[in-house]
Structure 1
Amino acid sequence: MKKIILYTISGLIIIFIVVTGYNTLTGKTKQPEPNPTDVTINEEKAITHLSQAITYKTISYQDRKKVNFDEFSSFIDFLQTTYPKVHENLELERINNYALIYKWKGTNSSQKPIGLTSHYDVVPVLEGTETNWEHEPFGGAVADGKIFGRGTLDDKIGVIGILEAVEYLLGEDYTPERDVYLMFGFDEEIGGELGAKAIAKTLQNRGIQLEFVLDEGGAIVENMVPGVDQPVAVIGIAEKGSAIAELTIEGSGGHSSQPNDHTNIGRIAAAIAKLEDTQFEEELRGPVNDLFEFVAPEMSFPMKYVFANKAIFKPIIQKILLKEPATAALLRTTIAPTIFQAGEQYNALPEKASAIINLRLMPGDSLEYVEKFIKETIDDEDIKVTVSGNEASKVSSVDSWHFKSIQQAARNVYKEAIVAPYLMFAGSDARHYDQISDNTYRFLPVLITGDDLNKMHGTNEQVGKENFINSIKFYVEIIKEAS
């Protein structure tokens, strides 16, 4: 009997090794062969154009009354002067005065068009930090192989990169097969209501449905995925929703010398502690699962072994990813208490206490589900809970020719990069285009370090010259691939 048990166990172990080994060895790459680009850009001229674009203070403020729209008008005039072929050959329409739609008519307008979008507004420079910049934030300085200034990464590089690509193609007498729409917002940094949302609504009213839309978002990053030595170009196929949960309790005020065992502040604090201790359920699914499907075949052993057998090692993978905030956010709706308000006098118990929690919702998690989860977790009927905001965007296909065209274009410029889908944490204008396209993708074609990310909305925002030139080449390639 013991021998039978031992033989059975040995047999199961052998089967386990054979199956998992087979999965590891037979995992096929999902990367297309690169066709290295032969695009030759007038680099000095293009760099000068981005440098000049930075000098326009197209700053978005939450209080729109503070916005200087003269700068926006001047920027549009600059585009018209700088890109004569674009403005001679493409139709330009202005929405709400400052949002721009360029239509490039193709040879076969019966095909559904594609859309390339970016925004030219930028965030303000935090007051008091101006002297911390190596170069003036709106000076457009070119030094040490880099271009400095607000908008070099977010996102005048996209606007200028796209227009440089189209101007180049027009100079080559190129005409796309399908129509191409260039769509540039002017208020993305404060929600995009008058820019991208209005552009999308205008096209929707005309019955225009786009094959796909490509916006900013993911980028080419290094040391992002364990077991992958090459840079990884991540293309956002969805973005998390952003919601606000407000927790409020009233009553039980009085003098601090005679407090109840559980005060308003204590109960709100306890509620937050429960939420942080419990957390939303983690799950390796959707865009995150797709990410590892694409990168697993490129991993070194033993990470390749683990990820090639996700069904078996899923609990281990999730446990590893939960250790770091950046990777934990890939797996679940996140909870981030950001504001706590209570009390005015040190010896008086506040009659009201409230807290604001920022939530970033996973695809599939509804606002109703989130509110129910919070109420059940804190288990305090006296605390009022209200949840408002946006749910996650639609999830775009990774099997479509749209995604494969973006992937091919990226490989043509960055032949060493592994191109994979991912879930974007931040918000973008792309979500507004969900109503006129089944597939919206988020990708800024530049190599970005962790330090670059910190500078994007902070001090010393900058982009390397080569990075910028490569972004133009990518836009040339994607227009050709999509055509």
Structure 2
Amino acid sequence: MTEPVDDRTAERLAAALRCVTVSTDDPDDIDDAAFDRLSAHLEQSFPRVHAELELTRFGHSRLYRWAGVEPDQVEAILLAHQDVVPVDDPQRWTHPPFAGVVDGEFIWGRGAIDDKSRLLAILEAVEAALTAGIRPRHTIFLAFGHDEEVFGDTGAMHMAQHLRAQGVFANLLLDEGGMITTGVADRIEPPVATIMVGEKGYATVRFSVTELGGHSSMPGRQTAVGRIARAVGRIQDHPMPLRMTPVTADMLARVRKVMPAPRRQLLRLADLVAPLVTRVMAGRPQTEALVRTTTAPTVIRGGVKSNVLPQHAEAFVNFRILPGDTVASVLAHCRKVVRDNGVRIETAGVSSEPTVNAAPGAAFDLIAEIAQAIVPGTVITTGIVPGATDSRHYHDLAATRCNFAPIVLEERDLASIHGTDERLSRVNYARLIEFNRRLITELAYSTSSDPHPSGADA
């Protein structure tokens, strides 16, 4: 049974939540003072980390190098991010979103789950390891970006480029993404730990039309708004095909053992009846994302007055791309479905291709073992992160990539991520710190060369 963190540990996280490190699309709009306050808090709270690890800054992003006994070998790159998303309606929160309130059960605030708890937990674990005289066998990097919520193009991307230029290649890349859920997976009673081994790609496609415009009393057969509406309707009515990927097949093979008998029997034949399984999964948004490149119209614009035909109309549709599809195949699908040469179709903003590991290996097994030790009875499975994380910038820098944190969340907790009343229980924060402590112990040994130093669990 994991004990909740004490008041001092909870307060260190709460103080970080009080730093309003909201990321913005325009780097010039960033609140530098908030990031500076967070930097000062980290350096004051974790003195050994900042005395003994080498720190390189990339803007507000922070790359720590913890040199190993064999410094040219790299064991792991541990990622987290300092920035948070904005708050739409602070009046709906139980506590102000940036107050960092701590009560007997929870630590409240924007970033409590995504992702300051992860950042602070890594530092708590490294600080404790340094105090215990532990030094890693091989070098470990800690990479804390400052703009993950806006794609990491000035933080994680630059840190990854730096590591690439140094010839760094790690055994493990570990980032946010997967977690342990209860009551979320359909008809599965035990807690399910989803260790993500890749992530979907990302593309926003812009559809635009230019027409003559004019007075609404004399419309032509085609109008800009009508053509855009028809294009968006066709895109939504004709999604990309359902497909069973190797990662999803592996996930189903792992969880079917704890499913009710009818589902278990169906999934045992998944290879033979994949079309049926994917159709069943497409019935819920949470599982449809595992078997399809998803289509989400998000913006449509055109016109400024009800009696004037606009000359221009446009729409933006967001796609989360399943491994096996590409940005190019998404564009080809859009052009095929819209069937209108007068509609211009192009990507807008940042795009990324899907990434996925080969079959899980020893590093995956280690993470699974630690997760089950912290939350006994947990079912381990794999998955793909549906959104974009900083780890996509580092994907080629490690043999194994895992996205996971051993925090146990219910459906209402999941809704608070980027939503209202984001909070993390003291018990979950203790699990997160213990997970990182055990992981570092496994990756390291003390200065006396004892692989399991006194006071550290194997």
Global fold match (TM > 0.5): yes
1:476 corresponds to: 437
Change (3 A) 1:102 1:278: same
In our comparison, the structure showing a higher alpha carbon Rg is: 1
Q: How many correspondences in the alignment?
A: 443
What secondary structure does 1:341 align onto? strand
Counterparts of 1:291 and 1:67 in 2: how far apart (Å)?
39
Aligned-pair CA distance for 1:130: 2.6
What secondary structure does 2:234 align onto? helix
Aligned-pair CA distance for 1:405: 1.5
Does 1:132 pair with 2:132?
A: no
**Which of 194, 212, 229 is residue 269 of structure 1 equivalent to?**
229
Aligned-pair CA distance for 1:41: 8.8
Counterparts of 2:360 and 2:388 in 1: how far apart (Å)?
24
**Which of 223, 226, 230 is residue 186 of structure 2 equivalent to?**
226
Counterparts of 1:188 and 1:82 in 2: how far apart (Å)?
23
Does 1:376 pair with 2:336?
A: yes
Counterparts of 1:265 and 1:124 in 2: how far apart (Å)?
31
- 8 A contact 1:398–1:421 mirrored in 2: no
**Which of 42, 47, 50 is residue 13 of structure 2 equivalent to?**
50
Aligned-pair CA distance for 1:252: 4.8
**Which of 66, 70, 73 is residue 108 of structure 1 equivalent to?**
70
Counterparts of 2:98 and 2:151 in 1: how far apart (Å)?
23
Q: Which has the higher strand share?
A: 2
Tell me the amino acid that sits aligned with residue 241 of structure 2: E
Q: Deviation per CA, 1:175-205: give whole Å up to 9, x if none.
A: 2222111111111122212211111111111
- 8 A contact 1:147–1:464 mirrored in 2: yes
Aligned-pair CA distance for 1:42: 6.4
Q: Which runs of 5+ in 2 are unaligned?
A: 445-458
- 8 A contact 1:122–1:155 mirrored in 2: yes
TM-score by length of structure 1 reads 0.87
1:348 corresponds to: 308
Aligned-pair CA distance for 1:482: 4.0
**Which of 110, 117, 138 is residue 79 of structure 2 equivalent to?**
117
1:206 corresponds to: 166
Tell me the amino acid that sits aligned with residue 422 of structure 1: G
**Which of 411, 416, 419 is residue 458 of structure 1 equivalent to?**
419
**Which segment is superposed worse, 208-217 or 136-145?**
136-145
What secondary structure does 1:71 align onto? helix
1:23 corresponds to: none
Aligned-pair CA distance for 1:260: 3.3
Aligned-pair CA distance for 1:282: 0.5
Tell me the amino acid that sits aligned with residue 17 of structure 2: I
Does 1:385 pair with 2:345?
A: yes
Matches within 5 A, 1:192-341: 192-341=152-301
Q: Deviation per CA, 1:25-47: give whole Å up to 9, x if none.
A: xxxxxxxxxxx99xx89633321
Coordinate RMSD, CA, aligned: 2.1
- 8 A contact 1:272–1:337 mirrored in 2: yes
**Which of 32, 55, 67 is residue 69 of structure 1 equivalent to?**
32
Tell me the amino acid that sits aligned with residue 414 of structure 2: L
- 8 A contact 1:365–1:391 mirrored in 2: no
**Which segment is superposed worse, 257-266 or 74-83?**
257-266
**Which segment is superposed worse, 378-387 or 56-65?**
56-65
1:433 corresponds to: 394
Q: Which runs of 5+ in 1 are unaligned?
A: 1-35
- 8 A contact 1:430–1:441 mirrored in 2: no
- 8 A contact 1:133–1:459 mirrored in 2: yes
Tell me the amino acid that sits aligned with residue 402 of structure 1: A
Does 1:87 pair with 2:58?
A: no
What secondary structure does 1:439 align onto? strand
Change (3 A) 1:124 1:78: same
Change (3 A) 1:391 1:145: same
Counterparts of 1:229 and 1:424 in 2: how far apart (Å)?
22
**Which segment is superposed worse, 205-214 or 248-257?**
248-257
2:117 corresponds to: 157
What secondary structure does 1:311 align onto? coil
Aligned-pair CA distance for 1:294: 1.9
What secondary structure does 1:112 align onto? strand
What secondary structure does 1:380 align onto? coil
Q: Percent identity?
A: 30
**Which segment is superposed worse, 235-244 or 129-138?**
129-138
Change (3 A) 1:398 1:478: farther
